[in-house]
């Protein structure tokens, strides 16, 4: 697959009242054609700044952002405008023109591109059909639900026939049911139009629903990147673990007790590995918590287990799970929980 975006050692520093505020620090990544690429982090992590460098709404302080091999910082104004027609964006707040009808909103980028009126209407109606709002073309945005407004924003973004769609917290203002519908729509558009989609979010549920790859941003730094399924199965960085795994409020019940987390994918979800452990080793574990979720259509699960006190028994149990193809990680009690209890 061809590389759409290539970020090489990107830094972004804001200057205010004589002080420097670093937003991005040495970020390097690639986004391939046709991917749904998630960029996730907590509030203030720098993810929105990062996505705005992709269409040069933010100029980088250092490093380079390449779009199909072209350095955005080196493009002339006319060239940059042309590139921006290939990179559409949708936002949390929809950004619709409230005094214009649905179809007039969808026509807006075509109007800027000076597309003839008849052709504008034709394209706008085609886009409204894609998002399932053909019957709303003469309605004003104020009479639409939040999910419908976001569909209008998606139709408007598609009207210029972009190569990339940037989604900056596009589902954060929607309830879970409508969020699921919007994500399904984006996934369908990605498949049918081969559109590269970059999703900025703080919600891991969004990433697990439709993304192919994910980059995790923490305090302006890229701390982890990889296939979504692999990051869910075996997160490496502390930020990834915090996003993927729920916090653990449990302590070991004994002084030498040890907690581990085992993770498994859909290929092993039906295996009775706890029962197998007892049957084959005669050892027992205490299940403290467990959950499952669908990631890319595959069931992923995890359990937090308390092991016996004896080190030799702990080793037998962890080796049993590892030999069985499960991912085993140590569990520390959630630091925030500990602080609250002190």
* Confidence (pLDDT) at 295: 66
Residue range 190-235, pLDDT digits in tens: 999 999 999 999 888 888 888 999 999 999 999 999 998 888 877 8
pLDDT tens per residue, range 5-19:
999 999 999 988 888
**163 pLDDT tier (thresholds 50, 70, 90):** very high
**Is residue 340 over pLDDT 80?**
no
- Looking at per-residue confidence, does 128 or 256 come out higher? 128
Confidence band, pLDDT 50/70/90 cuts, at residue 336: very low
pLDDT in tens, 273-314: 888 889 899 988 888 877 776 666 666 777 888 888 888 888
Strands (E), 50-189: 62-67, 70-71, 87-91, 164-168
> Pick from 57, 152, 61, 151: which is nearest to 104 by CA?
152
Q: Which structural domains are found in the chain, ordered by start?
A: 3-235 (3.40.50.300), 245-341 (3.30.70.260)
Return the structure tokens found at 38. Answer: 């998630």
Q: What value does the mean pLDDT of the chain take?
A: 86
E-strand ranges in 189-257 read 196-201, 213-218, 221-227
CA-to-CA dists, residue 12 to 48, 50, 77, 115, 339, angstroms: 12, 9, 21, 36, 33
Confidence of residue 342 (pLDDT cuts 50, 70, 90): very low
Could you tell me which of 222, 245, 214 has the C-alpha nearest to residue 327?
245
Task: Give the 3-state secondary structure of residue 94.
Answer: coil
- The Cα–Cα gap between 179 and 147 comes to 8
pLDDT band at 250 (very low <50, low <70, confident <90, very high): low
Strand locations in the chain (E): 3-16, 19-32, 36-40, 62-67, 70-71, 87-91, 164-168, 196-201, 213-218, 221-227, 258-264, 286-295, 298-307, 327-330
Classify residue 131 by its DSSP letter. T
The pLDDT value given to residue 73 = 92
Selection from 38, 11, 35 nearest residue 205 by Cα = 38
Tell me the C-alpha to C-alpha distance, in Å, between residue 40 and each of 54, 63, 127, 203, 250: 15, 21, 28, 7, 27
pLDDT at 339 over 50: no
CA distance 182 to 200: 14
On the question of pLDDT at 176 being above 90, the answer is no
Q: How confident is the model over 248-266, as a mean pLDDT?
A: 73
How far, CA to CA in Å, does 66 sit from each of 12, 20, 56?
A: 16, 25, 10
pLDDT, residue 122, reads 95
Check: CB of residue 150 under 8 Å from CB of residue 89. no
Does the structure show a pLDDT above 60 at 333?
no
Q: Which residue has the higher pLDDT, 3 or 327?
A: 3
pLDDT > 70? residue 261: yes
The vertex-129 CA angle with 127 and 130, nearest 5°, equals: 65
**Cα 243 to Cα 145: distance, rounded to the nearest angstrom:** 30
């Amino acid at each position: 697959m061809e590389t759409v975006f290539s970020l090489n050692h990107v830094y972004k520093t804001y200057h205010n009242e004589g002080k420097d505020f670093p937003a991005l620090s040495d970020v390097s990544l690639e986004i391939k054609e046709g991917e749904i690429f998630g960029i996730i982090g907590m509030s203030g992590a720098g993810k929105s700044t990062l996505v705005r460098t992709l269409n040069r709404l933010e100029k980088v302080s250092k490093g380079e952002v390449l779009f199909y091999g072209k350095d955005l910082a080196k493009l002339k104004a006319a060239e940059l405008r042309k590139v921006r027609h290939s990179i559409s964006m949708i936002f949390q707040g929809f950004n619709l023109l409230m005094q214009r009808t649905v179809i007039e909103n969808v026509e807006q980028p075509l109007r800027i591109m000076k597309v003839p009126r008849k052709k504008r209407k034709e394209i706008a109606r085609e886009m409204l059909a894609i998002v399932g709002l053909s019957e709303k073309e003469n309605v004003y945005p104020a009479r639409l639900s939040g999910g419908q407004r976001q569909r209008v924003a998606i139709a408007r973004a598609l009207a210029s026939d972009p190569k990339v769609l940037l989604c900056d917290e596009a589902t954060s203002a929607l309830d879970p049911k409508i969020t699921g519908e919007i994500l399904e729509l984006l996934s369908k558009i990605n498949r049918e139009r081969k559109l590269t989609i970059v999703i900025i979010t703080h919600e891991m549920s969004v990433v697990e629903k439709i993304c192919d790859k994910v980059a995790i941003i923490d305090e302006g730094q890229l701390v982890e990147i990889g296939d979504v399924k692999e990051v869910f199965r075996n997160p490496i960085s502390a930020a990834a673990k915090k996003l993927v795994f729920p916090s653990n409020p449990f302590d070991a019940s004994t002084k030498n007790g040890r907690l581990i987390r085992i993770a498994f994918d859909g290929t092993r979800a039906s295996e009775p590995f706890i029962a197998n452990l007892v049957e084959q080793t005669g050892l027992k574990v205490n299940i403290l918590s467990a959950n499952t979720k669908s990631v890319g259509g595959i069931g992923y699960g995890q359990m937090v287990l308390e092991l016996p006190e004896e080190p030799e028994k702990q080793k037998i149990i962890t080796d049993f799970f590892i030999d069985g193809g499960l991912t085993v990680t140590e569990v520390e009690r959630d630091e925030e929980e500990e602080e609250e209890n002190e």
